[in-house]
Amino acid sequence: MTAPAPLRVCVAGSWDPDFSRNRILLRLLERSGCEVTLCRADLWGRREDSIVRRGKLSLLARAAVVLPTLAARFARTPRADIVLVPYPGHLDVPLLAAVARWRGIPVLFDPFLSLFDTIVSDRALASPRSLLGRTARAVDRLALRSADAVLADTPAHATYLAALSGAPPARFRVLEVGAQEGVFRPQRGVAPDPDLVLFYGTYIPLHGIDTIVRAAKLLEPDGIRVRLIGTGQERARIDRLIADLRPTNLECLERVPLEELATAIAQAGICLGIFGTSDKADRVVPNKVFECLAVGRPVITGDTTAVRAAFAADEVRRVPVGDADALASAVRALRRDPAERERLAAAGHARFVRDYGEQALADRLRRYLDGIARRASPSAA
């Protein structure tokens, strides 16, 4: 009996090949047995925040050249069973979807974020009624409505994107961000320091780093050290807060290479998630939570809708967002109880492997892809 042909997936757009979500998606496609074709054009450059920071006129001028080139390139690629448009594909999807419909190929879009939510609500770079705010909302709606199906990283995010776009909720699928298991895995031979608490990130408002800094000051008499790794939008504001509070137990480092990050996680007795108070913070579970669990360290993070849906209370420790006193108390309690730290780390790691590891996510993604391709097949009509 002849084996069925593998599902053919064309990954198309101006996606960033170095972005963690995109790397993981490509790995999941590989693990799911798909035959993958890449079709990419560089629109955004290499800055992580260029999608919300880049000069808008220069971006539009570049898009006017790059997007037609991308569409023509996609039209010439071998026919696929489904097209996956990864982040940042908000400008790509309408044009690629038009070409895909002409070729009879369904489109799956992974936006990763809402431009309007990020620019207006989370990072406060524009007001809702400003030209930029209204444009971001319009681009979101057009992109989300152009795709046949949309991936979201949490159920809460799927609900938000459906409401924002006005698209049917059935169009949305949930695929958590997970972690790159080739990088984030238990580090044998690295002993955690029970007095060290670690946070790493890009210093965006969603992270609530001011809460971490205030908690560090409260932990100063306990001999607990807090290490921050990273930089980004709020670094100057956080540096001013540190200068005001003068915590002697706080260490700030620039970014470390990706391949060294798992070791930095493993060296910490406790790792931190996010503590921002925005609506967006309530809807997401960030990479760092999955990555720290993948390494096998206990995690304390904000008590949000997304975290409650993703993890049980005995798998990650939850505290009220924006509450430095609660965070400091949770750190103290775990510091005093090594058995609980180990139990929490083991339970979180087991949950990660079972539901959010590469194989679990690859299986789920393959089910989504098969369903989308089957519905689009003329024989399924």
Contacts with 178 (C-beta within 8 Å, 6 or more apart), sequence order: 24, 290, 356, 357, 358, 361
**What's the average model confidence in pLDDT over 185-206?**
94
Within 10 A of 197 (CB to CB), how many other CB atoms are there? Answer: 28
Cα 347 to Cα 350: distance, rounded to the nearest angstrom: 5
Same fold, 8-178+358-380 and 193-356: yes
pLDDT at 370 over 60: yes
Which pLDDT score, from 0 to 100, does residue 46 have?
Answer: 57
Q: pLDDT tens, 112-130?
A: 999 988 888 777 778 888 8
Q: pLDDT tens, 75-121?
A: 999 999 999 999 999 999 999 999 999 999 999 999 999 998 888 87
**CATH fold label, 193-356:** Rossmann fold (3.40.50)
Q: What is the phi/psi pair of residue 372, to 5°?
A: -65, -45
> What pTM value is reported for the model?
0.89
Q: Take residue 155 and report the two structure tokens written for it.
A: 């159920």
Class of the domain covering 8-178+358-380: alpha beta
pLDDT at 348 over 80: yes
Residue 277 pLDDT class (50, 70, 90 cuts) = very high
pLDDT at 54 over 70: no
Cα 67 to Cα 230: distance, rounded to the nearest angstrom: 33
**Strands (E) located in 34-75:** 35-40
Task: List the domain boundaries for the chain.
Answer: 8-178+358-380, 193-356
